[in-house]
Structure 1
Amino acid sequence: MKHLPTSVKCVALLAAALLPLAASQAHAATIHTQGSIQYVCSGVGQGSLQKMQAQAAKFNLGFWMVKGPQGEYLANVPVKVMQNGKTVAKFTAGGPLCYLKAPAGTYTIEGRHDGQLRTIQAQSGTTAHYLRW
């Protein structure tokens, strides 16, 4: 960098300073929107759980997807969220923990894993539900 113009040095230093921030943001879960529902699903390893928990206050409904007596975490589960018999969101959960921001009310959450359908009733304002296979 000794023989580079000052402007190039500044850009290089700025890029080096921002690289750790960009790397940490790359692992942040993406918030999706479908109609009046916002949702985010994530894994629970390598800091993902802490990042999800840091976002938890933005959401008013949450659930886990687990399997078996030991509660193995599940990912890539097709999920359907319904209210009053109408589908309000449909997505594939990228991790075992999902948070939703939804209008007040009661929701039916369906998940399908290994050909088996599981359904729970969840009230907005609660975040400790489990779809269990």
Structure 2
Amino acid sequence: MSLSYQALRRGALIGALAGLSAAGLLSPTLSQAAEVHHAGDISYLCGGVGQGSLKALQARAPEFNLGFWMVEGPQGAYLADVPIHVMQHGKTVAQFTAGGPLCYLKAPAGRYTIVGLHKQQERKIEMQTGNKNAYLRW
């Protein structure tokens, strides 16, 4: 009898978690990964926390023409909640907080400087549209 009761409890818990996940309450990073944001002439999509979110984000890569990762330390630990400034010709053309370690941008053709701030340390990378594999590394 207790085995059946445990199975019922386990099934109820799985069902409840599935409902929370479907409602977007359990995994906000996955739902954020599907949402494209806009800042000026630039559209961006950031996320990749968790295997499912990362795969969903990477599946959308063809929609964008810039991509970069934010990592820390020698092992390349993923970072999230990093303030980002996208600059062109010395002017900020977009700014946002990256919700995950991978960001894709759709920007007018050209050269950009991506600036990130983590633990009061700034990092910059220069990128040309078409590059989707750059790293901001702390």
TM surpasses 0.5? yes
Q: Taking structure 1 as reference, are residues 118 and 68 closer, same or farther at Cα in structure 2, changes over 3 Å only? A: same
- Runs of 4+ in structure 1 off by over 6 angstroms are none
Q: Larger deviation: 120-129 or 24-33?
A: 24-33
Q: Which has the larger radius of gyration?
A: 1
Which blocks of at least 5 consecutive residues in structure 2 are unaligned?
A: 1-17
Q: Tell me whether 111-120 or 24-33 shows the greater mean CA deviation.
A: 24-33
In 2, are the aligned partners of 1:39 and 1:98 still within 8 Å (CA)? yes
Separation in structure 1 between the aligned mates of residue 117 and residue 51 of structure 2, nearest angstrom: 26
Instruction: Tell me the C-alpha RMSD between the 2 structures.
Output: 1.9
Q: Which consecutive unaligned segments of at least 5 residues does structure 1 have? A: 1-18
Q: 1:90 aligns with which of 91, 95, 108?
A: 95
Identify the residue that residue 126 of structure 2 maps to in structure 1.
121
Please give the residue correspondences for 1:71-110 in structure 2 after superposition, counting only pairs within 5 Å. 71-110=76-115
The answer (yes or no) to whether the contact 1:43–1:75 under 8 Å persists in 2 is no
**2: distance between equivalents of 1:75 and 1:53?**
16
**Number of corresponding residues:** 114
Which of the pair is proportionally richer in helix?
2
C-alpha deviation, 1:43, in angstroms:
2.4
TM-score by length of 1: 0.80
2:7 — aligned with what?
Answer: none
Are positions 1:61 and 2:66 aligned together?
yes
